[in-house]
């Protein structure tokens, strides 16, 4: 299961089982990578009318969504609406179901937000494993044009439909524009303060913070406190999980005989995201990059704790 497909699978499955309409972007002009946003060119929808073949429709959907589907400009409405919008960093807006898009072609799904604003997420891999992490520098920061970071599903309505024999018939999909969404915000891209030579800045109650510190405090509503022992335990949980996931990926490769094969004559042009199914399933460069970022984050958190001690009551 590709990481980008899992949010769509969960959303579509829930809609099917609850008799809800669901629509999605099934075509974008662009790619997984590049310095420009992708343009949405088409959408598709599905409603269970009783004789509707939902499993087939979901398989079709999964064939048409990929990490490039998430690579849309967060700051502007497109002529054909994207599936996601940029949410405010505040209590309640970042919640289970929020998506995290890493513009290096990786996608996670939030499954828990604790009282201190720590955001827990899970992600899928081509070898059909699910791993867990905590939102932080390993996901990277993104310009608004590429739409990376935290994303919520865009509100959707089926308008003009009529109910016949217990099924919805007719109607059309209407998706909210950015200006119609109460918690739409670009703070994660542009900061809370005037930028310094184009570099965004964030502050909370007058305290200048790095982005990930700000996100955590803002998501908690200012309730985030700092207990050094807890912070170290919780922060170390991320690289420990990532190390276990890496070991699992290697064990899967060994179990499937990949280690016994001849070395490939050449490596893919992009070692982090390849169209070669075996390389994509069993190679670990992308996992390793996130692992390195997680350890850098641990060191950075330790340095900040020493340089900028906080009281247990928070900021």
Overall number of domains in the chain? 1
User: Quick check: is 9 in a domain?
Assistant: yes
- The 10s digit of each residue's pLDDT in 289-300 is 767 777 776 666
The pLDDT value recorded for residue 309 is: 40
Mean pLDDT for 249-261 is 83
Portion of the chain with pLDDT greater than 90, in percent: 50
Q: What is the token pair recorded at 283? A: 């190679």
Instruction: Tell me the HSE value of 102 on the side-chain side, using a 13 A CA sphere.
Output: 22
User: Quick check: is 261 in a domain?
Assistant: no
User: Quick check: is 100 in a domain?
Assistant: yes
The mean pLDDT of the chain is 85
The pLDDT value recorded for residue 305 is: 45
The pLDDT value recorded for residue 306 is: 43
Mean pLDDT for 122-136 is 85
The Cα 172–Cα 81 span in angstroms is 14
- The 10s digit of each residue's pLDDT in 52-89 is 788 999 999 999 999 999 999 999 999 999 999 999 99
Instruction: Identify which has the larger pLDDT, 242 or 119.
Output: 119
Least reliable range by pLDDT among 41-55, 166-180, 301-315: 301-315
Per the structure, the complete domain to which residue 170 belongs is given by 5-189
Mean pLDDT for 5-34 is 92
Instruction: Identify which has the larger pLDDT, 66 or 285.
Output: 66
The yes-or-no verdict on residue 134 having pLDDT over 50 is: yes
User: Quick check: is 41 in a domain?
Assistant: yes
In contact, 100 and 110? CB cutoff 8 Å: yes
Q: What is the token pair recorded at 215? A: 């996100």
Split at pLDDT 50, 70, 90, the class of 49 is: low
DSSP element (H, E) containing 189: helix 187-190
Split at pLDDT 50, 70, 90, the class of 100 is: very high
Task: Give the strand order in the sheet containing 199-204.
Answer: 193-196, 199-204, 207-209
How many CB atoms are located within 10 Å of the residue 237 CB?
A: 16
């Amino acid at each position: 299961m590709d990481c980008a497909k899992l949010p769509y699978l969960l959303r579509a499955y829930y809609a099917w089982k609850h008799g809800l309409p669901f629509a999605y972007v099934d075509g974008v002009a662009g790619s997984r990578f590049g310095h420009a946003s992708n343009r949405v060119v088409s959408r598709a929808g599905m409603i269970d009318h009783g004789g509707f073949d939902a499993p087939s429709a979901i398989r079709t959907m999964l064939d048409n969504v990929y990490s490039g589907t998430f690579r849309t400009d967060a700051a502007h409405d497109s002529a054909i609406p994207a599936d996601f919008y940029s949410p405010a960093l505040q209590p309640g807006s970042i919640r289970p179901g929020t998506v995290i898009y890493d513009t290096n072609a990786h996608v996670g799904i939030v499954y828990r937000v604790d009282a201190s604003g720590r955001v827990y997420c899970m992600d899928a891999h081509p070898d059909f494993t699910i791993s867990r992490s905590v939102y932080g520098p390993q996901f990277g920061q993104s310009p608004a044009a590429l739409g990376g970071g935290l994303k919520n599903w865009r509100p959707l309505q089926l308008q003009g439909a009529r109910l016949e024999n217990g099924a919805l018939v007719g109607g059309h999909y209407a998706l909210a524009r950015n200006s119609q969404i109460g918690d739409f915000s670009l703070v994660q891209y542009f900061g809370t303060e005037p930028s310094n030579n184009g570099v965004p800045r964030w502050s909370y109650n007058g305290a200048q913070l790095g982005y990930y510190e700000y996100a955590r405090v803002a998501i908690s509503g200012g309730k985030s406190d700092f207990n050094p022992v807890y912070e170290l335990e919780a922060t170390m949980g991320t690289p420990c999980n990532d190390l276990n996931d890496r070991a699992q990926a290697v064990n899967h490769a060994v179990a499937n005989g990949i280690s016994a094969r001849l070395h490939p004559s050449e490596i893919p042009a992009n070692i982090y995201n390849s169209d070669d199914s075996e390389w994509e399933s069993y190679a670990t460069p992308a996992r390793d990059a996130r692992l390195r970022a997680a350890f850098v984050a641990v060191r950075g958190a330790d340095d900040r704790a020493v340089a900028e001690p906080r009281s247990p009551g928070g900021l």
